[in-house]
Amino acid sequence: MALLLATLCVGQTKKNWLQLFNGKNLKGWSPKITGYALNENFGNTFRVRDGMLQVRYDGYDEFKERFGHIFYKNPYSYYVIAAEYRFVGDQVKGGPGWATKNSGIMVHGQDPATMGKDQDFPISIEVQLLGGLGKGPRTTANLCTPGTNVVRDGKLFTPHCVTSKSKTYDGEQWVRVEVKVLGDERVEHIIDGEVVLSYEKPQIGGGSVSKFDPAVKVDGKLLTGGSISLQSESHPVDFRKVELLDLEGCMDAKAKNFKPYFVKAANGRCKY
How many residues are there in the chain? 272
DSSP assigned state of 92: P
Q: Where are the alpha helices (DSSP H) in 141-262?
A: none
Calpha distance 237→49 (Å, rounded)? 12
Q: Alpha-carbon Rg of the chain, whole angstroms?
A: 18
Q: What is the pLDDT of residues 193-239, one digit of tens each?
A: 999 999 999 999 999 999 999 999 999 999 999 999 999 999 999 99
Q: What is the pLDDT of residues 140-157, one digit of tens each?
A: 999 999 999 999 999 999
Q: What is the pLDDT of residues 95-129, one digit of tens each?
A: 999 999 999 999 999 999 999 999 999 999 999 99
Give residue 4's pLDDT band: very low, low, confident or very high (50, 70, 90).
very low
Of 181, 122, 258, the closest CA to residue 190 belongs to 181
- The DSSP element (H or E) to which 143 belongs, if any, is strand 142-144
3-state secondary structure 177-214: EEEEEECCCEEEEEECCEEEEEEEEEEECCCCCCCCCC
Query: By residue range, what is the domain housing residue 154?
Result: 2-269
Q: What is the CATH number of the domain that holds 47?
A: 2.60.120.560
First to last CA, the chain: 29
In this predicted structure, what is the pLDDT of residue 76? 98
Give residue 6's pLDDT band: very low, low, confident or very high (50, 70, 90).
very low
Calpha distance 254→135 (Å, rounded)? 56
Number of domains in the chain: 1
In this predicted structure, what is the pLDDT of residue 152? 97
Calpha distance 263→60 (Å, rounded)? 44
Dihedral of CA 98/103/106/111: which sign? positive
Give the torsion through C-alpha atoms of 254, 255, 260, 262, to 10 deg. Answer: -130
